Amino acid sequence: MIILGMNETSHDASVSLIKDGKILFAAHAERYSKQKNDWYNNREIILDALNYGTPDVIAYYEKPLLKRSRIAIRGGASDWKPEFPLDIPVYYFKHHYSHAAAGYYTSKFDNACIVVLDAIGEFNTSTIWVGEGSKIKLKYKKNYPFSFGLFYSAFTKLIGLKPNEEEYIMMGMAAYGDWKRYYVKVNDYFKNINNQKYNFHKGIFDWDEPIDEQAKFDIAAAVQYVYELRLIEFMDMAKRLTGKDNLVFMGGCALNCAANTRLWEIFYDVWIMPNPGDAGSSLGAAAALYGQHIEWEHPYLGYDLGGEYPVDKIYDELMKNKIAAVATGRAEYGPRALGNRSILADPRQANIKDKVNKIKKREMFRPFAPVVMEEYAHEWFDISFPSPYMQYAVRCKKPSIIPSVVHKDGTSRVQTVNKNQHPGLYNLLDKFNKKTGVPILLNTSLNVKGQPLINDAQDILDWKAVYNYNIIS
């Protein structure tokens, strides 16, 4: 049976296709429509998915009726009318169950605690599940308006950023702020996991102090601090309730890589599917319908540009200009570029960071991430587990050698690579290491701020025409 998984009518629409437990295709609508955080799927993404097989059924990531009743009873807004591209049976799964299924069924665990934290789906906003064998059972839930995600998004909005989109910028700003300045005030909004001040859905309206530039960074730091405190409380409860040592963490909150690192203090092993937010729920709905583990090999599941990984071309460009833009093979499923739609650069010079920020038109304070050969990761970073999907921020041990990939607080959001995971990227790092003694490159997504990642050949041509900058493909 071929299942078409879909999520739309909320930020980050996506489509997935699975057949007998194998993922054939998974991609984001925005990469096809060129509309960042596109709410809806489009003809192009559906046609691309159909290249990989003709679905028998559709699995949708929410229960529209339930969502409609939440909006009627408790407020909020959404376009809850999904449109289905084919006249085949449609099965609906609850929002949080789709998150849980995306995480647990792609994990290697047959026994795990599953935690889902996001802004809001239908009613649930914070859930704890137990995965045993092929069964997923709900253990605990908290409903709207309590919400970790809405708390974080409301402050994102308060400091002038775009909620539901630019939370990752606030997370980056936290390293530049003093959390103590606003700790008491921010903590008052979310005192413990049973005491949240009010409905954050529309933002924060009782902040009574002026917010100058430095205050934005200090608020970000306090919010990140309080978020981590409450996250740890919730995770401790989850472990206690389920009695499990393995954690599957899903929902938009699982994109907070600074907080994610702390989960390893509580659990023996952790799995965060590389696309844990709503965009990952098309795969979650498909997996929920399949009802058992699916084969997770890698996140290179989207549009296919074809070609071998151009190791020598990238290496030559790095030696010549220190920066190489690359688009090749299948696009990553998830918000991070992990080598196939990346800008790679020599991490040793501090000014490289400014050059790349200029190309990407980003704020100058924004940090970049390192990609490192897995076997050397512990020599360069304070890390004792693999991080193949850039999900954890850890302390860098040699910041003076690779300054362009170390954040203000001394941490780096590390991507580890081994031979099996991405042979091309691994060979490139190996070649760079043999020449320089550094098994690390700067790796950032191939896009301009506010635009989706490069997807297809037309995007490559457009990029070249507009930015006069070559992409290696």
CA–CA dist 265, 287 (Å, integer): 29
Whichever of 120 and 174 has its CB closer to Fe ion, that residue is 120
Whichever of 120 and 405 has its CB closer to Fe ion, that residue is 120
CA–CA dist 250, 222 (Å, integer): 23
Chain-centroid distance, C-alpha 447 = 16
Count CB neighbours of 320 within 10 A.
9
Extract long-range pairs of 33-37: CB within 8 Å, 24+ residues apart. Answer: 34/451, 34/452, 34/459, 35/452, 36/165, 36/450, 36/451, 36/452, 37/11, 37/12, 37/164, 37/165
Rounded to the nearest whole angstrom, what is the least distance from the CB of residue 126 to Fe ion in the complex? 11
Whichever of 248 and 344 has its CB closer to Fe ion, that residue is 248
Whichever of 119 and 438 has its CB closer to Fe ion, that residue is 119
Whichever of 166 and 278 has its CB closer to Fe ion, that residue is 278
Residue closest to Fe ion, measured at CB: 118
Largest separation between any pair of C-alpha atoms in the chain: 63
CA–CA dist 240, 234 (Å, integer): 10
Residue 59: which of 96, 24, 18, 27 has the closest Cα?
18
Rounded to the nearest whole angstrom, what is the least distance from the CB of residue 30 to Fe ion in the complex? 16
Rounded to the nearest whole angstrom, what is the least distance from the CB of residue 149 to Fe ion in the complex? 8
Cα pseudo-dihedral 279, 284, 156, 177, rounded to 10: -110
Whichever of 122 and 218 has its CB closer to Fe ion, that residue is 122
Rounded to the nearest whole angstrom, what is the least distance from the CB of residue 95 to Fe ion in the complex? 6
Residues that bind Fe ion (CB under 5 A): 118, 278
Whichever of 150 and 314 has its CB closer to Fe ion, that residue is 150
Rounded to the nearest whole angstrom, what is the least distance from the CB of residue 250 to Fe ion in the complex? 8
**Cα radius of gyration rounded to whole Å, the chain:** 21
Q: Which residues contact 43 (CB under 8 A, 6 or more apart)?
A: 85
Rounded to the nearest whole angstrom, what is the least distance from the CB of residue 334 to Fe ion in the complex? 14
Q: At what angle do helices 311-321 and 423-436 cross, to 10 degrees?
A: 40
Rounded to the nearest whole angstrom, what is the least distance from the CB of residue 282 to Fe ion in the complex? 12
